[in-house]
Amino acid sequence: MDERKGEAPSITDEEISAYMMRQLRSGRVKPGVLVVLTEKNFPCVARERIIQCFNALDSRYLKG
């Protein structure tokens, strides 16, 4: 894995994706606010990386 400047090395893409999936499955979070919510919960992770994780999510959870 390449080093990401200014980010916590212990947070993996899998952890970010798992967090997003839990939020979507709960039914309380709409896909439109998921990236912002994830940014608040993982402030040391770059927005581009969060968006990459969001784009990789299974589309069945993104249908509203």
pTM for this predicted structure = 0.78
Q: Looking at the domain assignment, is residue 5 inside a domain?
A: no
Q: Work out how many domains the chain is built from and give that number.
A: 1
pLDDT digits (tens, 9 = 90+) for 17-62: 999 999 999 999 999 999 999 999 999 999 999 999 999 987 776 6
* Rounded-to-integer distance, Cα 17 and Cα 46, Å: 14
Torsion of CA 56, 35, 51, 8, to 10 degrees: -110
pLDDT band at 63 (very low <50, low <70, confident <90, very high): low
**What residue numbers bound the domain in which 42 lies?**
13-61
Q: Looking at the domain assignment, is residue 33 inside a domain?
A: yes
The pLDDT value given to residue 8: 57
Cα→Cα distances 48→22, 26, 53, 55, Å: 20, 24, 9, 10
